[in-house]
């Protein structure tokens, strides 16, 4: 490529760059003029901004009203809750109400006016004790359980007419055998059929029969002359020739001078031994405690 060709290409690029720059300026001016002339409206845009500000103000007012309403509702709920607590406390402390004879705690005679709680106690109704509801005990007996699991409690399959089709291939049992095995009655074992406390019940029944068979044939006649003919049989304690023992009737440490041999009674108190009084206090020659 010769030098003239390079010069022409560079000149062409320069002209195209100038053309594009001028075209951008022209389009920018034209677009601005067209938008301001036909598209953009200053007064319309101003009205649009004013409408947006009014809408925002209305939304803010609605939100403020809603917040005030919620706050009032919460305050009202708190007041109602506090009022319920006071009413419950008044019902619970109804015994502090004044009577005609004795003034109550909240109606002191040293005050000009009674306490507001006194008026609340007068309006309140005393709290009554609610008894717990007695739960009905369900009978759990073996007979009811057996009756529930009997064949009558299960649905029975109605016999249907035979269907002319081939039996399914495979190790399948007959439908009647399967239903018979499914709805067969329960056969409880001896441990399940008998109650747990059968031994205790048998003992109680045995005692009842023993008491019923024990018949007392001796006639009880306390107000008749039936016992006058019987001879009185004294006890061994009273019929002994030695007489009753004086143990417990007289003093335990009484003195009997008639039984003394000498002029004084025998002394049963012995003096103490010195050897035992020194035990554990003296030392031996080996240094051990005796």
Q: Are residues 49 and 32 part of one domain?
A: no
Question: Alpha helix (H) ranges present in 130-221?
Answer: 142-148, 175-182, 190-193, 198-213
Q: Are residues 28 and 4 part of one domain?
A: yes
Number of domains forming the structure of the chain: 3
Which range has highest mean pLDDT (71-75, 89-93, 214-218)?
71-75
* Residue 115 falls inside a structural domain: yes
Matching residue, tokens 């269907």: 163
Which range has highest mean pLDDT (31-45, 64-78, 172-186, 271-285)?
64-78
* Residue 213 falls inside a structural domain: no
Q: What angle do CA 268, 260, 272 make, to 5 degrees?
A: 15
Print the domain residue range for 100.
Answer: 93-127
What is the spatial distance between Cα 119 and Cα 115, in angstroms, rounded to a whole number?
7
Given 15, 49, 78, which residue is the final one in a domain?
78
The pTM of this model reads 0.32
Summarize pLDDT for 214-264 with one digit per residue, the tens.
766 666 666 556 666 777 777 777 777 776 666 555 555 666 778 777 777
* Residue 149 falls inside a structural domain: no
Cross-strand pairs, 283: 289
* Residue 204 falls inside a structural domain: no
Q: Are residues 47 and 22 part of one domain?
A: no
The predicted structure's pLDDT at residue 104: 85
Summarize pLDDT for 16-72 with one digit per residue, the tens.
999 999 999 999 999 988 888 888 888 888 999 999 999 999 999 999 999 999 999
* Residue 46 falls inside a structural domain: yes
* Residue 167 falls inside a structural domain: no
Q: Are residues 49 and 36 part of one domain?
A: no
- For 166-194, letters b (16+ CB in 10 Å) and e give eeeeeeeeeeeeeeeeeeeeeeeeeeeee
* Residue 175 falls inside a structural domain: no
* Residue 33 falls inside a structural domain: yes
Q: Are residues 60 and 33 part of one domain?
A: no
What is the spatial distance between Cα 205 and Cα 223, in angstroms, rounded to a whole number?
37
Q: What is the mean pLDDT of residues 89-110?
A: 86
Q: Are residues 33 and 3 part of one domain?
A: yes
The predicted structure's pLDDT at residue 246: 62
Task: Kindly state the DSSP code that residue 242 receives in the 8-state scheme.
Answer: T
């Amino acid at each position: 490529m010769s030098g003239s060709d390079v010069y022409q290409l560079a000149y062409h690029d320069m002209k195209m760059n100038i053309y594009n720059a001028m075209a951008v300026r022209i389009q920018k001016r034209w677009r601005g003029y067209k938008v301001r002339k036909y598209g953009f409206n200053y007064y319309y845009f101003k009205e649009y901004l004013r409408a947006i500000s009014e809408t925002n103000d209305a939304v803010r007012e609605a939100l403020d009203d809603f917040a005030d309403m919620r706050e009032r509702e919460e305050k009202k709920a708190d007041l109602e809750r506090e009022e319920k607590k006071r009413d419950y406390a008044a019902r619970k402390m109804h015994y502090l109400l004044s009577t005609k004879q004795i003034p109550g705690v909240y109606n002191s005679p040293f005050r000009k006016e009674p306490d507001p709680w006194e008026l609340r106690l007068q309006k309140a109704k005393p709290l009554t004790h609610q008894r717990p509801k007695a739960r009905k005990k369900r009978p759990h007996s073996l007979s009811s359980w057996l009756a529930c699991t009997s064949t009558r409690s299960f649905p029975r399959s109605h016999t249907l007419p035979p269907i002319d089709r081939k039996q399914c291939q495979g190790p399948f049992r007959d439908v009647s055998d399967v239903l018979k095995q499914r709805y067969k009655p329960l056969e409880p074992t001896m441990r399940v059929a008998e109650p747990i406390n059968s031994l205790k019940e048998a003992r109680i029944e045995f005692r009842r029969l023993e008491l019923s068979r024990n018949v007392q044939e001796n006639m009880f006649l306390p107000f008749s002359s039936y016992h006058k003919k019987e001879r009185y049989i004294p006890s061994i304690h009273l019929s002994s020739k030695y007489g009753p023992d004086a143990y417990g009737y007289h003093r335990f440490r009484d003195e009997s001078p008639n039984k003394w041999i000498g002029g004084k009674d025998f002394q049963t108190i012995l003096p103490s031994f010195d050897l035992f009084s020194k035990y554990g206090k003296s030392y031996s020659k080996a240094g051990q405690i005796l």
